[in-house]
Amino acid sequence: MHVPKHLPLSEWPDGDHAAFATAYAPGDIFDVTRGRGAHLAEGTRRMIQTGYGRWLAFLRQAYPSVVRMPPAERISPERVRAFIEHLALEVRPTSLAFTSSSLFNAARLLAPNGNWDWLRAIRRRLHVQARPADRFERLVPGWQTLDLGIRLMDEALNLPRAGHRVRELQYRDGLILALLSCWPIRRRSIAALTMSRHIEFIDGGLYILLHVADTKSKRSESFRVPNQLVPYFERYLKELRPRLLRYQSQDGLWVSYRGRPLIPGRIYDILRRETLKAFGKAMSLHDFRRAGATFLATVAPDQVGLIPGILQHASPEVSEKHYNLARSVEASRRFGAHLAQTRGKLRSRIACKRGLI
């Protein structure tokens, strides 16, 4: 018999559904109807749901009788210890630490007035023990992924037009690679881009806007596309995107093979596939963000102040709570210019070595 590792939401006890509905109730900040978790972003709620679903699956298998208890009463030191010991045999320390955080956050939502100091201490110890895998060796500098994206687009234009739209799809993938090389934003942000709300041509320049709902930092962002990429964007918008749309009518900037908006998971797959093929390293979206910060600090340490603006961080330090929009625009513009300049220098050096110039 197959035992699910995560209990599906549809199989959660009624009491758990009701408890989380209360925790997430929007209510009014001036009365008691607002839930403790009403402010949490959808991504944070999904993380809590995933960890809590694993907790429920464990309880149903190891302590079936306690499933009938009120949700918060099930979370005891004895059962949490058994849960952690069970998980430690199946997942990495980093995953164990994240799951413990999800359970702790769920406990605070289910019983806001409860004493969860003991669970907080467990979570803290697990995070201290977790040692994330070193991913530096799988990072590729932004100027190389930028080169890859431009090469894919250039090659796509030489492909014959076909019913399977290979030409259009390769061009789209190259443009995504090139954009993320210059502006390594989060997956939710790149997938949220639309034609009507996020793309603007202003004073001869192309700007991509991010609104509060599109960012984890809950602040708007603006990015001026580097001049060398503007013609590629214009060609995609005027020629390649309409061919991908066919008879569909939708607003998403990135269009799938079937003419629908490209989902975040598909963008993730595209990046991993193309970087693995080109460099032997499958880079995720977060690897693009790491590469942007790491190689900027390595190659141009005098420009490390650009990193918070590039990565959509709300602040460069814990003490600062806001980063102003104008600084973000300038950071993205200067970083794109730095990549383009570095790319040009590398090509000149290669040409010199080959005796071409």
Q: What is the pLDDT of residues 285-317, one digit of tens each?
A: 888 888 766 555 444 444 434 434 445 444 444
Tell me whether residue 2 is in a domain: no
> Terminal CA-to-CA distance of the chain, rounded, Å?
69
Residue 211: which residues within 8 A CB-CB, separation 6 or more?
Answer: 197, 198, 220
Domain of 303, CATH number, reads: 1.10.443.10
How many Cβ atoms sit within 10 Å of the Cβ of residue 101?
A: 19
CA-angle at 235, arms to 166 and 336, nearest 5°:
105
List the one residue out of 116, 107, 111, 103 whose CA is nearest residue 58: 103
Domain co-membership, 124 together with 193:
no
Q: Rounded to whole angstroms, how far apart are CA atoms 156 and 259?
A: 19
How many Cβ atoms sit within 10 Å of the Cβ of residue 123?
A: 20
Q: Please state whether beta strands 205-210 and 221-224 pair in parallel, antiparallel, or not at all (unpaired).
A: antiparallel
Tell me whether residue 151 is in a domain: yes
Question: Crossing angle for the helix pair 117-129 and 77-88, nearest 10 degrees?
Answer: 20
Domain co-membership, 94 together with 239:
no
Tell me whether residue 1 is in a domain: no
The residue type found at 250 is Q
Domain co-membership, 177 together with 75:
no
Residues of the chain with pLDDT under 70: 1-3, 29-31, 132-136, 292-357
Tell me whether residue 100 is in a domain: yes
- Are the beta carbons of 91 and 102 closer than 8 angstroms? no
| pLDDT for the residue numbered 76 | 96
Which three-class secondary structure state does DSSP give residue 206? strand
Domain co-membership, 177 together with 223:
yes
Domain co-membership, 119 together with 47:
yes
| pLDDT for the residue numbered 342 | 62
Q: Rounded to whole angstroms, how far apart are CA atoms 253 and 270?
A: 16
Tell me whether residue 3 is in a domain: no
Of 83, 110, 129, the last residue of a domain is 129
User: Tokens at residue 30, please?
Assistant: 């001036």
pTM of the model: 0.63
List the one residue out of 136, 139, 132 whose CA is nearest residue 280: 139
Domain co-membership, 169 together with 305:
yes
Domains held by the chain: number? 2
Tell me whether residue 59 is in a domain: yes
Of 101, 129, 157, the last residue of a domain is 129
Domain co-membership, 123 together with 162:
no
- Biggest alpha carbon distance in the chain? 78
Q: Rounded to whole angstroms, how far apart are CA atoms 309 and 296?
A: 13
| pLDDT for the residue numbered 314 | 45
List the one residue out of 182, 105, 108, 186 whose CA is nearest residue 145: 182
Tell me whether residue 291 is in a domain: yes
| Domain span including residue 18 | 9-129
Tell me whether residue 99 is in a domain: yes
Q: Rounded to whole angstroms, how far apart are CA atoms 129 and 312?
A: 28
Domain co-membership, 80 together with 163:
no
Domain co-membership, 238 together with 174:
yes
Residue 175: which residues within 8 A CB-CB, separation 6 or more?
Answer: 149, 153, 229, 232, 233, 236
Say how many residues make up the chain. 357
| pLDDT for the residue numbered 311 | 52
Domain co-membership, 95 together with 169:
no
Domain co-membership, 160 together with 91:
no
The residue type found at 28 is D
Q: Rounded to whole angstroms, how far apart are CA atoms 186 and 289?
A: 8
| pLDDT for the residue numbered 355 | 46
Of 90, 105, 129, the last residue of a domain is 129
Domain co-membership, 257 together with 338:
yes
342-350 long-range Cβ contacts below 8 angstroms, 24+ apart = 342/143, 342/299, 343/143, 343/146, 343/147, 346/143
Distances 227 to 224, 276, 345 between C-alpha atoms, Å: 9, 28, 17
Distances 291 to 5, 17, 144, 283, 305 between C-alpha atoms, Å: 33, 41, 11, 10, 15
User: Tokens at residue 20, please?
Assistant: 């989380």
User: Tokens at residue 153, please?
Assistant: 């687009």
